[in-house]
Structure 1
Amino acid sequence: MAVDRTDPEHRFAALVEELKDLPGVRPPAAGRRRFGADALTADGHIFAMLSAGRLVLKLPRARVDDLVAAGAGAHFDAGKGKPMREWLALDPAADLPWPQLAREAHAFVHGSA
């Protein structure tokens, strides 16, 4: 089944399906309504989530800085007015592979847990 690349919810659902069997991964919990409820976690730590139609990933600071400098996104701000150094909010127009970036994020989080 082809993924609608214009619909972030469908893309994220496909991403969840693709990554759900990685070590330590827990898919989003249906019905939960708190921060991180709609996120992919590894060993209890969020590594990928959808926020305001953008894929948000936890990556090493240098990787995030490189992606931001390349125009692929911005440092994620969780609404507290302070961008988070290890979090990237991917620009919806960026033509980067979500699964590859999410696997990088998983490796980063899973390896540091």
Structure 2
Amino acid sequence: MDPEERFSALVDEFAGLAGVTVPEHCTRRGFGSGALKVNGSIFAMLTGGRLVVKLPRVRVESLVGSGMGGTFDAGKGRPMKEWLTVTVDDDRTWISLAREALEFVGSRRPAHR
């Protein structure tokens, strides 16, 4: 399964959950335009063929140390400490880390609109 297909399956897994919005199939580009969100905040996205998830900083450091991924850099030249680029390409890992990210981001204050 290629990354786009795996992410599409991930989107299907989370569609319909309370507070979760899925990416729209549109031509819009930019940070977060194709992301899974909870209460308006991104918790998982596909970037450069890799799953990127938002997790607590300590958890990201632990996962990087275990070889599961690396810190995410949005092109600004410095890593984003609460974002993990997942380098393991299997469905179970993606779903597990995305669930963890949903729980983490969903437990924070809702985004203001």
Q: Output the TM-score relative to the length of structure 1.
A: 0.89
Letter in 1 for 2:22: P
CA-CA distance at 1:50 after TM superposition: 0.4
TM-score by length of 2: 0.89
Structure 2 counterpart of 1:10, which letter? E
Report the equivalent of 2:5: 10
Alignment of 1:22-41 (within 5 A): 22-31=17-26, 32-41=28-37
Q: Which secondary structure state, in structure 1, belongs to the residue aligned with residue 101 of structure 2?
A: helix
Contact 1:72/1:94 (CA < 8 Å) preserved in 2? Answer: no
- When residues 78 and 47 of structure 1 are mapped into structure 2, their CA distance, relative to the original with a 3 A threshold, is same
Alignment of 1:36-47 (within 5 A): 36-47=32-43
User: Could you report, residue by residue, the CA deviation over 1:70-106 in whole angstroms, capped at 9, with x for unpaired residues?
Assistant: 0111100000001000000011457861111101000
Residue 20 of structure 1 is matched in structure 2 by 15
CA separation in 2, counterparts of 1:59 and 1:23?
19
What fraction of aligned residue pairs are identical, expressed as a percent? 55
Structure 1 gap segments, 5+ residues each: none
Letter matched to residue 19 of structure 1: F
Rounded Cα–Cα distance in structure 2 between residues aligned with 1:81 and 1:92 = 23
Gap runs ≥5 in structure 2: none
Deviates more, 1:57-66 or 1:86-95: 86-95
Number of equivalent positions: 108
- Cα RMSD (Å): 1.5
Partner residue in 1 for 2:44:
48
1:97 aligned counterpart, secondary structure: helix
Deviates more, 1:41-50 or 1:25-34: 25-34
